Amino acid sequence: MKKIINTDHAPAAVGPYSQGNALGNLVFTSGQLPLNPETMKFPEGGIKEQAAQALENLKAILQAADADLSTVLKVTCYLDDINDFADFNEVYTDFFGTENAPARSCFEVGALPMGALVEIEAIAYRKED
């Protein structure tokens, strides 16, 4: 049976979707915008600050699902501007490292909700007890 994942440590959904779902050992997160969950605003700065916030939101949802960044199998990253790729990778590496990084797709899109510079979603597995 599907389990809805919800946490106050990540922004509430801004549309008709859940923060994430779990089915068996798998966790599927919705795309995470760089919204501060307390203010529902983007952090000051540019792509690096927004990437860090989006990844913190992703991390919070994974933790609520009994998973974490080390159990992520696949990440999809949406960038408003592909020219931000190198700066995005710098922050992404701080969270995932390089040795055991998950599979990933990263591409530019026409626009992101609320004018965000980045949105990130993941598929992970739940830790076994």
Return the active site residues.
Answer: 106
Q: 115 Cβ partners below 8 Å, 6+ apart?
A: none
Computed from CA positions of residues 18, 67, 44, 49, in that sequence, does the dihedral angle turn out positive or negative? negative
Q: Which residues pair with 103 in a beta bridge?
A: 74
Helix, strand, coil shares, percent, the chain, to 5: 30, 25, 45
How many Å apart are CA 47 and CA 89, to the nearest integer?
10
